[in-house]
A and B are shown apart, each in its own frame.
Chain A
Amino acid sequence: MEDVELFAYRREDGSVGVRNHVAIISVDHAGAVVAEGVSKLLRGVEAVTHQYGRLQFGEDLQLTFNTLIGVGCNPNVAAAVVVGIEPNWTSKIAKEIAKRSKKPVESVWVIGQGTISAIAEAAKKARELVSYVSEIRREPCRLSEIVIGVKCGASDTTSGIASNPVIGKVGEWIVDIGGTFIFGETTELAGAENIIASRFENEGEKRKFLEVFDNYVKFAKSKGVDILGSQPTQENIAGGLTTIEEKALGNIQKVPDRPIKGVLKPAERPPGKGLWFMDSSSSAQEQVTLLAAAGAAIHLFSTGKGNTVGHQILPVIKVTGNPITAKQMKDNIDVDVSGITLGQMSLEDGARRLYEFMIKVANGKLTAAEILKHDNFAITRLYPSM
């Protein structure tokens, strides 16, 4: 497969985006109300909201900050307004986004003026930014310049037969043309962790991966959950999956069979091109958000039964190999590769179908989850607030 020229947004920091959003990013619950208010007043803004950001500490607070800063720096965002309850953390996040991405970033806080006034202030600032970003033109870029993420959810037998291998194949093409591809879902690899470990380019990163994996298993055990012993689930067994190895092998079909460069921390931007593993939850909305924070501009999502996840700033492309899901949930599905399951389509043809759709999305075509406003931004919490 050859690299493709397409029209996208080249940002100041060298990254390439496929959307041109003004993000209204909330630092906390107070900011969330303001961001929602602004999004009702203006065209061209995306409210990135959540209910956390208060009394968090240590690593957990840092991950929330990194997620908010990372989403602000994402190349699909052209400008941002950061809104929070008070000036300290709000300005800190706004300044960091501006420093790293060189984008116009404003900040607004609620204390000292109240919610209605804060909405007005944020809306005035966002209005200027919308006007400014609407003049930014798409320009010729290469597909290999776009960071692409992957995940599967609501999987079934057809995921291992069709949608996962299709994504794996597309991922191989992306890596081969010199692009960047990120996978994660630490727990989903259980049973095939040694296969993934064997694909790391260097020993240090391989050890780091196995450590991340073991820590997850131990953490779950400390909470009374045996991740390994509880797989496959009763539902999986009813669907025909017998062993944890078998389930994991189905999962990793979506991981390109290429050397893995290294392990990324949650929300960490990959330091170079190629294939990367990110330590991340298997919860769809959390994983998609962590990849958005890492700079992914397109996300490939494989589903059997029909997970509907989407994201404010990251287009999520739904691929299914289940003919029933493709029919019943047509509104939610972007690429139907159920022909593979039915023996009417080759894997190569399915992959080509996804590749072509992905290029359209990069050029501006909206995904089902974008049209349906599946705005599932979600913070990954590491432990409770104080």
Chain B
Amino acid sequence: MKVYLHDEKDNVVVALDNLKPGDKIEAKGKVITVRQEIPFGHKVAIENIPKGSYIIKYGEVIGVATTNIEEGEHVHIHNLKSLKYT
């Protein structure tokens, strides 16, 4: 299953295919089980991200987790919000 890691510092990867629960993806040398349907171009958490911590993509902060996010979960508007303009 194809995913894209922009930067080694990232805690999310981008799905390069429509992913389904149970799909195995590989990032930073570990295998992760996808927990939800994740469409092409959307983000998947590659580690457990506690509520209130930063989501990192391109090696930069793209916002903050609004809930506890588990490895393999879909990261999008339901659990990530901008720090800049809300």
| Chain A interfacial positions (CB closer than 8 Å to B) | 156-158, 160-161, 191-192, 195, 228-229, 231, 237, 239-246, 249-250, 253, 341-343
A342 to chain B: which residues have CB within 8 Å? 2, 16
Given contacts A156-B41, A249-B57, A341-B16, contact A237 B85 (CB under 8 A): no
Kindly state the interface size class of chain B when it binds its partner.
Answer: 20 to 34
A99 to B81, CA, bound (A): 55
B77 to chain A: which residues have CB within 8 Å? 237, 242
A341 to chain B: which residues have CB within 8 Å? 4, 16
A244 and B16: CB pair below 8 A? no
Question: Other than the known A161-B16, A191-B82, what 19 A-B pairs have Cβ atoms closer than 8 Å?
Answer: A157-B41, A160-B58, A228-B84, A228-B85, A239-B41, A240-B14, A240-B39, A240-B42, A240-B43, A240-B76, A242-B43, A242-B76, A242-B80, A243-B62, A243-B81, A244-B82, A245-B82, A249-B62, A341-B4
Given contacts A156-B41, A245-B82, contact A195 B2 (CB under 8 A): no
In the complex, which of the residues B6, B41, B77 has the most CB atoms of chain A within 10 Å of its own CB atom? B41
B16 to chain A: which residues have CB within 8 Å? 161, 341-343
A161 and B6: CB pair below 8 A? yes
Quote the shortest CB–CB distance from A332 to chain B (angstroms).
Answer: 22
| Chain B interfacial positions (CB closer than 8 Å to A) | 2, 4, 6, 14-16, 39-43, 57-58, 60-63, 75-77, 80-85
A343 and B2: CB pair below 8 A? yes
A161 and B63: CB pair below 8 A? no
B42 to chain A: which residues have CB within 8 Å? 240
B57 to chain A: which residues have CB within 8 Å? 246, 249
A157 and B58: CB pair below 8 A? no
A241 to chain B: which residues have CB within 8 Å? 41
Given contacts A157-B41, A191-B84, A228-B84, contact A242 B58 (CB under 8 A): no
A101 to B13, CA, bound (A): 50
A343 to chain B: which residues have CB within 8 Å? 2, 4, 16
A161 to B84, CA, bound (A): 23
A237 to B75, CA, bound (A): 12
A191 to chain B: which residues have CB within 8 Å? 82, 84-85
A243 to chain B: which residues have CB within 8 Å? 62-63, 80-84
